[in-house]
Each structure stands twice: as C-alpha cells, then as structure tokens.
Structure 1
Amino acid sequence: MERDQLSRLAHADHPIAAPVGDDAVGRLLAHAVPRDGARVLDLGCGGGEWLLRALAAHPGLRAEGVDVSDAALSHARASAAERGVSGRLVLHREDAADFSAPHAFDLVVCVGSAHALGGLRAALDAARRHLAPGGRVLVGEGYWAREPSAEAVEMLGDLASLADTVDRITADGWAPVHGHISSRQELDAYEWAWTGALTTWALDHADDPDAAQALSVAAGHRDGWLRTYRDAWGFVSLVLRPSPVRGGHHLPGADPGR
C-alpha cells in the first residue's frame, strides 16, 4: 500500500491532518482569514480540509491547494463537490516548493506540512513569496515539550522547544497575532484516530492484500507514540503577519509606529 493511501485511511476520522480539534480549527481560521473575499493558498494541502472549512465559513472566499498526491487531491475534489464549494476551489498537483501563481494570496496555510518544503524556515520563505500586502500566514509545527529521547528525535526530527520555535519565527521577520497550543486531549485524540481508523479499515477488509500491512503500520505507529514520543511531543499553530522587526531590532527604514 502506498504511503498516501495509508495516510488517507488513517485520517478518515480526523480529516485535519494535525492534532488540532474542530473548535480550535474554527478559531484559527477566524483569526487567519482577513476578509470574506480573501484568496487563500494551502501549501501541502493533502485532502484540503483547511480550505474546505474556510470556504464553508466564508462564501466569498476563493482557495487554491497544492499537493503531490493524486489520491489526496481526488479526495479534496470529491469533498468540495459534496459541500458545494467546487466552484471556488482550484487544486494543483505539483511540489509545493516549486509552485508559482500569477497572483498573491491574503492567507497562506502550511499546517503540519513544512517538511514537504524543506522545514519551517523554508516553508515561511515560500509563504512570504506568495503573500499579498497585509496578508497572513497560518502555520502549524511540532515542538519538544520536554527533553526528547534519541529515539524520539530519530522518529520526529530535530524539533525545538516551544519558546525556541517561536523565537525562530519572530527572528525571521514574523509577528504572531494568534496561536493555539494543542492540548493533551487533542494530541491523544489525533493519535488514537490515526491508529484506530487504520486498524478498523484493516479489520473490516481482512481479505484485502494490504490489510496485514495496514494493521502492522497502525501497531507500529501506536507503539512508537506510546513508548517513545507521547510525553515529549507538542504542536503549536500560529497566525502570523510580516513584521518590521527581526530578532528584536527594527528593520532598516521601518517605522516602528506603524
């Protein structure tokens, strides 16, 4: 079974592919969408759930998503048709790092997909290239809530602490205007949904040639979460605006009173 198909099955019960609950998603979008007629871009959109919810909440909004997965984009198209928002959604099958558009966007979303662009700094650089004046960025990133084990770092990567993550973002010229730190309940609900949905599919399709693999992947993921990174991993979502301040100093020529 291909990786994108495994991911689609695993997110069946948690279509937001990040440990962020429905209420928090709504609040983040309320702060991130600057106006009803905004143009929104999701870099690494997957099944397009962030865009679909933004489109449903804002009838005048137009959205575009970029992803390399045919299966994820097909799922996004089907979901958009079911929700009646297809006419305001454009999807692009290409590498998000290479994507270019003839227009800028009022909001750029990159939640849980910074790795697809080469990391958090690269993702913010890409967002800046697409951002219209006065625009905002919605970014979601993992962090270490406490000192991780070497095994946890091997699994999830060389993340920073929450404070250092925010410092890196502000040093890069961004000002957080809203944020959400995922709760233990959100983190656990996401992992139980991921492993549970994949396990359920495998048990319900025991005769499928891919069932044994799906069951093994779910068990391995669950074991790694519970034994290796559950107590150390956190997730933060931030709404950002470009700032005239980098690393605590005003940029040359910037007016600090603005």
Structure 2
Amino acid sequence: MNREQISELAHADHPIKSPLDDDSVSRLLAHGLPRGDERVLDLGCGTAEWLLRALANRPHLHAEGVDVSEVALTQARQAARALGVDERLVLHQREAANFVSSEPFDLVLSVGATHAFGGLLPTLTAAREHLAPGGRVLIGESFWERPPSPEAIEAFGDLADLASTVDRVVADGWTPVHGHVSTRAELDAYEWACWGSLASWALDHPADPAAPQVLATANAQRSQWLHGYRDSFGFVCLVLRRTSQ
C-alpha cells in the first residue's frame, strides 16, 4: 500500500486528521464562523471533514477546499452529496500553495497541513493572500510540550514550545482571538485510533498481500509514539485575526 492508502485506513475511526475531539472541532468552528454565512477556504482539506461539518450546521455557508489527493477529494464529494451540501462545496485538486481565487474568504483553514507550505509562518502568509478584510484564520500546528527526545525530533523536526509558537504568530502580525490546546485524552485517543485502525484492518484481512506491511506499520508507529514522542508532543489550534489591516 502507498502512503495515502495507509493514511485512509489509519483515519477510518478518526476522520478529523488531528488530535481533536468532536466538541473541540465544533467550538473552533463556532469561533471561526461567528455569522454562519461566511465563505470558507480549507488549504490542504483532505476529505474535507472540517468543511463538511461547517456546512452541515450552517445552511448559508459556502466553502472551497484544496488538496492534491484525488482519492480524498472523491471521498469528500461523496460525503457532501450524502449530507446534501454538495451545491455549497467546491473542491480543487491542486497544490494548496498554488491555489488562486478571484474572491477572498472570511475564514481560511489549515489544520495539520502547514508542511504543505514549509511551516507555520509560510502557511499564514498563504492564508493572508486569500483573506477578506476582517476575516479569520483557523490554523493547527504541532509544538513541543516538553523537551523532546532525539527520536521525537527525528519524527517531527524543529518545533517550538507553545509560548514561542504563539509569539511567532503575534510577531507576524496576527492576534489570537481563540485557541485550543489538545488535551492528553485527545492526543492519546488520536494515536490509539490511528494505529488501532491499521492493526484491525491487517488482522481482519490476513489473506491480503498488504496485511503484513500494514500490521508492521501499525506496530512501528505505535512504538514510535509510546517510546518517542508521547510525553513531549503537543498540538494547538488558533483562531487568528490580522492585528492591522
């Protein structure tokens, strides 16, 4: 199996591809969409789970998503039709960094996808290009909650701590108006769901040629989490407004 197929299996029981529970997602969307009739853009939308949840509860909302994965976007379109929101959702298959729109957006989302732009600040630069005056950005980023082990650094690279992460955002011209730091329960639930889904699929399909690879991946990733980064990794979502227009 390729990386995309592995990811699809891993997130079968956790469609929000970040360590957030449903209540946290709902609260973040409420702070990002105070009116309910906004235009929303998700850069790196994957299966568009954030957009689908926003659209399902806000009948006057319109949304667009950008992602390189044809498989993920096909799944998003099918889900949108099932929810009856497909007429208010436009999906673009392309690199998020190359997306251009003729109209600005009231909310720009990028949760767990800053790697597509080369980091947190480049993602905010991209979001700024799409943002309407007075608009908001909802961004999710990893940070070090405690000093990381060498294994953790190898897995996630050069992250900052929470205070430094927020300081960088503020220095870049943004003001946080809401935030959520994933709890230990959210972080653990996400990891157990991902590697448990992979392992279950492998055990349920022993005759599939990919089963050994999938099970080995589940075991390796679970071990890397438990032995490498569980005690140091954190995740924060920020709702931001431009400090000055």
Instruction: Give the TM bin, normalised by the shorter chain.
Output: over 0.9
For 2:160, what is the secondary structure of its paired residue? coil
- Give the letter for the 1:120 counterpart: L
Encode CA deviations 1:127-151: one digit per residue, 9 max, x unaligned: 0000001100000001000100111
**Separation of aligned partners in 1, 2:49 and 2:128:** 22
Runs in 1 of length 4+ with deviation above 2 angstroms? none
Report the TM-score when normalising by structure 1: 0.93
Identity of aligned residues (%): 62
**Separation of aligned partners in 1, 2:121 and 2:43:** 14
**Separation of aligned partners in 1, 2:109 and 2:26:** 14
For 2:222, what is the secondary structure of its paired residue? helix
Encode CA deviations 1:180-214: one digit per residue, 9 max, x unaligned: 01000000000000001111111112212211111
Partner in structure 2 of residue 110 of structure 1: 110
Partner in structure 2 of residue 204 of structure 1: 204
Encode CA deviations 1:216-258: one digit per residue, 9 max, x unaligned: 11111100000000000000001000003xxxxxxxxx8xxxx
Report the TM-score when normalising by structure 2: 0.98
Q: CA deviation at 1:39?
A: 0.5
Structure 2 residue 168 is matched with structure 1 residue 143 = no
Return 5+ residue gaps in structure 1 as ranges.
245-253
Partner in structure 2 of residue 248 of structure 1: none
Superposed, 1:14-93 pairs within 5 Å as 14-93=14-93
**Separation of aligned partners in 2, 1:71 and 1:2:** 12
Partner in structure 2 of residue 250 of structure 1: none
For 1:100, what is the secondary structure of its paired residue? coil
For 1:76, what is the secondary structure of its paired residue? helix
**Separation of aligned partners in 1, 2:135 and 2:208:** 47
For 1:58, what is the secondary structure of its paired residue? coil
Return 5+ residue gaps in structure 2 as ranges.
none
Q: CA deviation at 1:34?
A: 3.4
**Separation of aligned partners in 2, 1:241 and 1:149:** 34
Would you say how many aligned residue pairs link Structure 1 and Structure 2? 245
Encode CA deviations 1:121-178: one digit per residue, 9 max, x unaligned: 1100000000001100000001000100111111011100000000000000000000
**Separation of aligned partners in 2, 1:86 and 1:198:** 30
**Separation of aligned partners in 1, 2:88 and 2:195:** 33
* Alignment check: 8 A CA contact 1:34 1:135 kept: no
For 2:36, what is the secondary structure of its paired residue? coil
Superposed, 1:177-192 pairs within 5 Å as 177-192=177-192
Structure 2 residue 233 is matched with structure 1 residue 239 = no
**Separation of aligned partners in 1, 2:210 and 2:100:** 37
